[in-house]
Structure 1
């Protein structure tokens, strides 16, 4: 099961304003953007100025030129964008429908909503086994009102009880609805709030059967871009309404507990798989005796370094290193001593080569080294140094040994086989010259 990062489902198109701004500036920003909320940024915290707060401040006849920093605005919960969506589950039961998403430096990245979470989690089995009617009896009843009640009274009630929608009913059937988005529209238009709510209600109301499954309800909400669903019985009588937040809090409770229980197990399993993957990758790329890169990995690295050489117009050279008379070591001292000597020489070469150089065991007692940013003369000097170091190497119980080295600079038209062939010819010339020496290939 894939769990996205918070950043992948964050809405980054949010409006924000500094706490040093005035209430009038914030309200104007809400009206111009047609948003229902604005994020207020403080020095250490983020706050929410919602339509409910505007209604409250309007009821209290708060002056519009007051600074936001003087108002008691609710603090918003925060989460870093690199967190998993699983980490948002702890916020599902708070009073906020939005969570502030932060960059690593604590700056505002965006907002994640209950809708974002709902759209990103889809446990079909759970969703297909619950129906809306199973949930209606355990949630609080919303206030259903008569169409003749005044608009101002409705607004004040919605602000006091934090209702984001109010249903208008007649003979038990829903005939209209007022949401916080409608409130914002009406406030912006400066309408007469003393008129009855029937003047401004949105009608007709789209409803869904209370016997639908949660999955069907979820599809309905997503298709309609609704933040709530209004449920009716077979006679069309209003039975309730459920918001996205309530749907999450109720329907996903069991699933959330399951995910929290198995979260550590999943992480442990992933870590073990990653460890095995790294282990197998190392086995596939290295020589089992010396721990150096093998031919397959060297070919991959050669292609990468060749590309860099061409792009940056750098030099690139290759060494073929062969230990002299190594067969005599095996014949005289045995293969165990020979293997130990190969490991010791491999470590010696790694120490003496540069950090950027790439060393491979090519086969038997032969090694190949790739030298980035080294022309033929530089590679020759490095090879000479390796010859002298190998010649001076001694370890108790092991014979002294020398090496012959062929050097070849790589051209843009080369492939690895051509480079190796030239370096092999240079190596052969070194052998013919008495061994324990370095020869350059002829370009």
Structure 2
């Protein structure tokens, strides 16, 4: 099985800016399009400006009037359009990024794939496991703050812990959340960040019960178009926070493991079949009279060297039906019952007069026998010579 290509999932219209634009321009554009990252086009390739970078620049006191060319930005992760999902997941997981750019051989930008694109293309029914959210979230980092904390302090904590979201709670009950999108909105509005976080948090909080399976979480995330959801127990107390990134990583890691197992099983099955084919071929060659194997469809699978004496090598093409092989011989019309039994996988026997590849007639006893325990449905067809008509040459 092949993984889908990134090109088939990509968002074609990529929001970008030239490096001469300012941080303020980038902030305005990101708020306008409700995005958390922006591609910056430079003379040396593509760079990426993320919401967490804007937060860091603000905390460091960097003026938003400076051009993008004067701030240090990470290189955008790039892959060719024909790369598959597996490559993208490995790359963005390694670099803790949220997207990968598709760049062709001419260094032209073809699109971008984000975690949102991946979530929208997940097939929840293909996720066979039934792991509960509560089990998944054990040990995962969650930043919880109280409602009276100043926004500036919450932002500092988010930066220190390297998280994109802070959960505002009281006695473990969720009150609201503050995300990087909220941070960008506040920065764009020039709002004073000394205010209490409860004044700017997003509330109420959408939640999922901890007994939900990962499959149910994927469905909920897609239906509500949310990037993250708070997970609670039966008493509505916070258990953790599940994000698109968590779900995508888990989903595809399960999928990769499943595909890898299927590929390994297929390889092992093919090896077993190849071994059996070799055994069958050795047994055929041990016979001193023409013999061949027909598959379940009555088509040629294998044959021995002696078979070439009566059919000719050019006619012995795998997949050729027995009817085609015997066409032009005088006995064909008289053994239709044999063909019927062979198609039904039944044993059969008949006397036939057969014209060989060299133009000689020879009487044969045709015997067809089903083979058992080969892993596939085979019929062994043999031509045992009777008395030769050695005086007749039809050349």
Q: TM-score, normalised by structure 1?
A: 0.56
Listed one character per residue, the Cα deviations across residues 156-210 of structure 1 (whole Å, up to 9, x for unaligned) are: 2223333221111122210111111111222222222111011111111111100
Do 1:53 and 1:159's aligned partners in 2 also have CA atoms closer than 8 Å?
no
User: Offset of 1:229 from its aligned partner?
Assistant: 1.8
Partner of 1:204: 204
Do 1:92 and 1:248's aligned partners in 2 also have CA atoms closer than 8 Å?
no
Partner of 1:404: none
Partner of 2:177: 177
State how far apart, in whole Å, the 1-side matches of 2:44 and 2:266 are: 34
Partner of 2:277: none
State how far apart, in whole Å, the 2-side matches of 1:127 and 1:189 are: 46
Partner of 2:146: 146
Partner of 2:121: 120
More strand by share: 2
Pick which of 217-226 and 238-247 moved more: 238-247
Aligned length: 275
Matched, 1:77 2:77: yes
Partner of 2:105: 104
Unaligned runs of 5+ in 1: 270-287, 290-334, 337-443
State how far apart, in whole Å, the 2-side matches of 1:266 and 1:90 are: 24
SS at match of 1:93: helix
Partner of 1:43: 43
Partner of 1:131: 132
Partner of 1:317: none
* CA distance 1:65–1:187, shift in 2 (3 Å): closer
State how far apart, in whole Å, the 1-side matches of 2:23 and 2:217 are: 38
User: Offset of 1:104 from its aligned partner?
Assistant: 3.3
Partner of 2:299: none
Partner of 2:326: none
State how far apart, in whole Å, the 2-side matches of 1:255 and 1:33 are: 32
Listed one character per residue, the Cα deviations across residues 72-113 of structure 1 (whole Å, up to 9, x for unaligned) are: 212221111122223323225231011111233222122101
State how far apart, in whole Å, the 2-side matches of 1:194 and 1:23 are: 22
Pick which of 142-151 and 79-88 moved more: 79-88
User: Offset of 1:260 from its aligned partner?
Assistant: 4.9
User: Offset of 1:225 from its aligned partner?
Assistant: 0.5
Q: TM-score, normalised by structure 2?
A: 0.62
State how far apart, in whole Å, the 1-side matches of 2:190 and 2:266 are: 55
SS at match of 1:236: coil
Partner of 1:27: 27
Listed one character per residue, the Cα deviations across residues 123-145 of structure 1 (whole Å, up to 9, x for unaligned) are: 636444211122111422x1111
Partner of 2:187: 187
* CA distance 1:57–1:107, shift in 2 (3 Å): same
Q: Which has the higher Rg, Structure 1 or Structure 2?
A: 1
Unaligned runs of 5+ in 2: 270-313, 316-356, 359-395
Matched, 1:226 2:248: no
SS at match of 1:168: strand
SS at match of 1:166: strand
Partner of 2:366: none
Listed one character per residue, the Cα deviations across residues 355-413 of structure 1 (whole Å, up to 9, x for unaligned) are: xxxxxxxxxxxxxxxxxxxxxxxxxxxxxxxxxxxxxxxxxxxxxxxxxxxxxxxxxxx
State how far apart, in whole Å, the 1-side matches of 2:128 and 2:74 are: 33
* CA distance 1:117–1:34, shift in 2 (3 Å): closer
* CA distance 1:188–1:62, shift in 2 (3 Å): same
Do 2:229 and 2:243's aligned partners in 1 also have CA atoms closer than 8 Å?
yes
RMSD of the TM alignment (CA)?
A: 3.0
* CA distance 1:223–1:29, shift in 2 (3 Å): same
State how far apart, in whole Å, the 2-side matches of 1:65 and 1:264 are: 56
1:235-246, aligned counterparts within 5 Å?
Answer: 235-246=235-246
User: Offset of 1:65 from its aligned partner?
Assistant: 3.6
User: Offset of 1:263 from its aligned partner?
Assistant: 6.2
State how far apart, in whole Å, the 2-side matches of 1:110 and 1:264 are: 33
State how far apart, in whole Å, the 1-side matches of 2:64 and 2:181 are: 21
Do 2:15 and 2:39's aligned partners in 1 also have CA atoms closer than 8 Å?
yes
State how far apart, in whole Å, the 2-side matches of 1:158 and 1:176 are: 15
State how far apart, in whole Å, the 1-side matches of 2:120 and 2:52 are: 26
State how far apart, in whole Å, the 2-side matches of 1:37 and 1:3 are: 26
State how far apart, in whole Å, the 2-side matches of 1:73 and 1:113 are: 19
Matched, 1:248 2:271: no
State how far apart, in whole Å, the 1-side matches of 2:128 and 2:135 are: 12
Listed one character per residue, the Cα deviations across residues 222-246 of structure 1 (whole Å, up to 9, x for unaligned) are: 0010111210000101110111112
